[in-house]
Structure 1
């Protein structure tokens, strides 16, 4: 049967500017007449001459509205001259797996349906983002073009009668406007597992988890928070590595994540924290809704900050077969992330980069063969095996190092701190605040701290004082293509190396989220095991005073403390 495309007239929406990782809104916003269609058409139009005959990967994290949106996007791809869509079964593919598929299949790009670590359900969040042909999130130039298209869009193209079955694996071929259009429904788990087996030594990981005659089994607990990683976790940890069923929990992707908030931190992954505190398990990991973020815990819920996780991985990459073959080109972190990896880069003699928040900035460096390992303090860690952060990869990397070093998570951290010193770090999140109030707060703060007279100011709390060495709004010039990213977060850098960073997050679906990052370096071995909240207490209070966060947000306490 031959299908014909239709052109539907529409009116532009003025709120479709993508944030750090695509467009995120409440489900009900995307369900407005023509809202999803407009944004998808803008993505397709942004491809320009590449659109006709293109091949796109399509998938999402399984949250509410993913399947409906996926079927809609297939209809629109068919009408816009796309040659082929590779879609995950039931519309589900993890974000790292999408990146892998784009690169492995050499496609034009991919459309990912996710709001990442935000909650799901009919009254919760949804999101759409576009990844380019390198497998990574669209750079600023592309997202700007997409937004510019949305504000002038007056029509979209669709094949209304094409109803593709995306629940059944296989290849579906259609004739649309006289041309062949193909939809391949795939099991994305197999390709991703194959990639992991190329990177890690699964034999040694299997021995670690099962134990040997001289060593007890290493007990792991992996919590997928009912997000997309469940099937991947089951295949890797149970079927490939031999862990028992009790080692994996919340592995069924659910549209509302089973009522869980799929954000792997100490607040929202409290179930994992409680389980690890019982002392039965040696290692715990949790992943977010779309599988790109991770939290690592050791025995008795010993917490590994994302910046420490990145640094430990960086100092032990020699244990991972992939890096023994590919080599180590460089390390990078996002600007708000504590500087633990900086000292590792210096020690091992590789280049180091500090970039704005957003994985797309790492991708540019990777494509230029300048970067091998990178991370963000928002629980994102990854390498140049793909162009997205990768939660399961991070957990496997930790297990590979543990298998080789024969040390616990806590032992690895303590030995790392003794060698490099410790960056005490915390992040205060104020979620769903009034956007106008937050904008005024940031404007006032920038005016205050960027005054030339502010450098040299002494800020004190009780008996602790810090002298301002530099204050600015972070400005980044990409060393590869020269592109500029300005006003990426207000920085207060002190003479002793301590920092206060304040920025508005670009990953929320409504209101505004203010994030305050605080870190301080300590190399005295007698102080390395201190509690971060206690050690950082003076700096935390200074940050709250300088920002006037309580006045501007009306909040007595943050929503989340990391």
Structure 2
């Protein structure tokens, strides 16, 4: 994606500053994954030289991440919800919304509010692609920052996602902070957290069976509403909080995901998830 935004936005009123764009197989010693821990250099630059938005892509530019103009981290879940609202409110788009299991439940509330069909898939963009190929899709997305668009290739595209975020800012004429505050006010706060922990591959099956067959009665004091076990195991509470355990397909790594109304509660759920692993 190096240089793409410069070229695509040439001749517009948008001023582009590009960093970390050198063609380097080692990416300058920085991991190319668009997640917060890799943003340090860019955050320091933005603190000194504010912009309206910082778009971040990975090595092959199929995923998008971001920061606001002063270097504050934007989660992929926030970007997804901003884009979903933009497509519904500004572009007047309709269709099915496709999301992976590990994506924020704010999407569920938005779809319910706007009367849109929501399809939830396993983790991996190939599952979202399969739904996109069936047609009548508004957007498809996953927690890692992969977003697919209608009328385009049935794949994730970080460049197009970035352009759509810029289109959103142009249409709204409001700062990101105002748009995000509006989402939280309308659909409630949603705070996400995740940890990756070592867990033996040979015990993975037993853990998933335990999670499926012996779910907790409550999450954060709210009764359990649903247990989804078609890709890992996901617990969903009546208040919208959720906890999910899912193993890597190739490594002895267990990923634990959670979402709640605030970060403190999200981390309580992660602690609960770790406790579950210790019972097997």
Query: Under a length normalisation based on structure 1, what TM-score does the superposition of the two structures give?
Result: 0.46
Q: Secondary structure at the match of 1:419?
A: helix
2:60 match: 290
Deviation digits for residues 158-200 of structure 1, max 9, x if unmatched? xxxxxxxxxxxxxxxxxxxxxxxxxxxxxxxxxxxxxxxxxxx
Which deviates further from its counterpart, 383-392 or 311-320?
311-320
Which residue number in structure 1 is paired with residue 12 of structure 2?
241
Q: Deviations over 1:372-409 (max 9, x none)?
A: 21211112222122211111211111111111111111
Residue equivalent to 1:252: 22
1:332 to 93, 98, 116: 98
Determine the structure 1 residue equivalent to 2:132. 366
Deviation at 1:455, TM superposition (A): 4.7
Indicate the structure (1 or 2) with the bigger Cα radius of gyration: 1
Aligned match for 1:517, one of 247, 257, 271: 257
Q: What does residue 450 of structure 1 align with?
A: 212
2:37 aligns to what SS in structure 1?
coil
Contact kept, 8 Å, 1:234 with 1:251, in 2: the verdict is no
Q: Distance in 2 between matches of 1:393 and 1:513?
A: 32
Task: Provide the rounded CA distance (Å) in 2 between the counterparts of 1:505 and 1:271.
Answer: 30
Assess if the C-alpha contact under 8 Å between 1:455 and 1:470 holds in 2. Answer: no
Q: Distance in 2 between matches of 1:333 and 1:234?
A: 30
Structure 2 counterpart of 1:351, from 114, 117, 131: 117
Q: Secondary structure at the match of 2:3?
A: helix
Task: Give 1:471's aligned residue.
Answer: 227
The answer to whether the aligner puts 1:386 opposite 2:153 as a matched pair is yes
Residues 236-256 of structure 1 deviation map (CA, whole Å, 9 limit, x = unaligned) = 24x3436556x1111122122
Asked if structure 1 preserves the Cα contact closer than 8 Å seen for 2:216 and 2:224, the reply is: yes
The answer (yes or no) to whether the contact 2:65–2:79 under 8 Å persists in 1 is no
3-state DSSP of counterpart to 1:373: strand
How many Å separate the matches in 2 of 1:496 and 1:344?
Answer: 15
Structure 1 residue 368 displacement after superposition: 2.1
- Deviation string 1:203-230 (CA, Å, 9 cap, x unpaired) is xxxxxxxxxxxxxxxxxxxxxxxxxx10
Indicate how the Cα distance of structure 1 residues 544 and 274 shifts in structure 2: closer, same or farther if over 3 A, else same.
farther
Structure 1 residues 279, 411: closer, same or farther in 2, change over 3 A? farther
Q: 1:275 to 1:514 in 2, by over 3 A?
A: farther
Instruction: Determine the structure 2 residue equivalent to 1:184.
Output: none
Counterparts of 1:52-451 in structure 2 under 5 Å?
229-237=1-9, 239-241=10-12, 243=14, 247-278=17-48, 280-317=50-87, 323=91, 327-384=93-150, 385-430=152-197, 433=198, 437-451=199-213
1:496/1:242 CA distance change after superposition, 3 Å: closer
User: Of 274, 277, 280, which aligns to 1:544?
Assistant: 274
Give CA deviations for 1:27-77 in whole Å, capped at 9, x if unaligned.
xxxxxxxxxxxxxxxxxxxxxxxxxxxxxxxxxxxxxxxxxxxxxxxxxxx
User: What TM-score results when the alignment is normalised by the length of structure 2?
Assistant: 0.88
Q: 1:359, 1:388 within 8 Å by CA — same for their partners in 2?
A: yes
Distance 1:411 1:503, change over 3 A: same
Structure 1 portions without partners, runs of 5+: 1-228, 475-487, 523-531, 553-562
SS in 2 for 1:514: strand
Q: Distance in 2 between matches of 1:396 and 1:293?
A: 13
Note closer, same or farther for the CA distance 1:415–1:499 as it changes in structure 2 (3 Å cut). Answer: same
- 3-state secondary structure, aligned to 1:519: strand
Instruction: State the alpha-carbon separation in 2 of the partners of residues 276 and 444 from structure 1.
Output: 47
Name the CA shift for 1:428/1:274 in 2 (closer, same or farther; >3 Å). Answer: farther
Q: Does the 8 Å contact 2:218/2:237 carry over to 1?
A: no
Contiguous gaps of at least 5 residues in structure 2: none
The structural deviation recorded for 1:516 is: 1.2
Compute the RMSD of aligned alpha carbons. 2.5
Note closer, same or farther for the CA distance 1:254–1:401 as it changes in structure 2 (3 Å cut): same
Size of the aligned set, in residue pairs, is 279
Counterpart CA distance in 1 for 2:166 and 2:186 is 21
Mapped contact 2:193–2:267 kept (Cα < 8 A): no
Q: Secondary structure at the match of 1:350?
A: coil
CA contact 1:446–1:472 (8 Å) conserved in 2: no
> Which residue number in structure 2 is paired with residue 106 of structure 1?
none
Provide runs of 4+ in structure 1 moved above 6 Å: none
